[in-house]
Copies of this chain bind each other. A is one copy, B any other.
Amino acid sequence: MPGMDPAELRKRFTDAPVARMATLRADGTPRLVPVTFAVVGERVFVGIDDVKPKSGRRLARLADVDRDPRVALLVDRYAEDWSQLWWVRVDGRATVHEDGPVLAGAATALRAKYPQYARATFTAVVAVEPTAWTGWSARA
């Protein structure tokens, strides 16, 4: 991981506005979606809100996590100058919270990070416990 110590790697991940999350479908194939998120202590929280238009049914990613907790989250920087490229990945195990203190805490963290969430109601949160942090940077 050239150029990124563990603290730098966590900072870059934490500060990014968007990550891409992979969950596993029932057939084991990877399901990819972009997500907003907040890092609190050791955990990464992905909120399911009523701000961004969604279909009425429970999101497939929640069913995925209930079935198989193994997820991955990726943050990266793309630039035309490829010496600026970097990425940070979190692999982890996730749980779904549809009420209780974990949901309430995650909602507070998400509202603090994103002004767009000021009036949001969160119907669920995916709480990810990282098992590995991995990073790569083009700049040594």
Which A residues are within 8 Å of any B CB, using their own CB? 2, 17-18, 20, 22-24, 28-34, 51-53, 70-74, 76, 78, 80, 82, 85, 87, 89, 91, 116, 138, 140
- Minimum CB–CB distance from A99 to chain B (whole Å) comes to 25
Decide: A30 near B85, CB < 8 A? Known: A17-B78, A18-B78, A140-B53: no
A-B contact list, 22 entries, CB within 8 Å: A2-B53, A17-B80, A18-B76, A20-B20, A20-B76, A22-B22, A22-B32, A23-B30, A24-B29, A24-B30, A28-B70, A29-B72, A29-B91, A30-B30, A30-B71, A32-B32, A33-B89, A34-B74, A34-B78, A34-B85, A53-B140, A82-B116
Q: How far is the CA of A18 from the CA of B80 in the complex (A)?
A: 10
Q: How far is the CA of A37 from the CA of B115 in the complex (A)?
A: 34
- Minimum CB–CB distance from A31 to chain B (whole Å) comes to 7
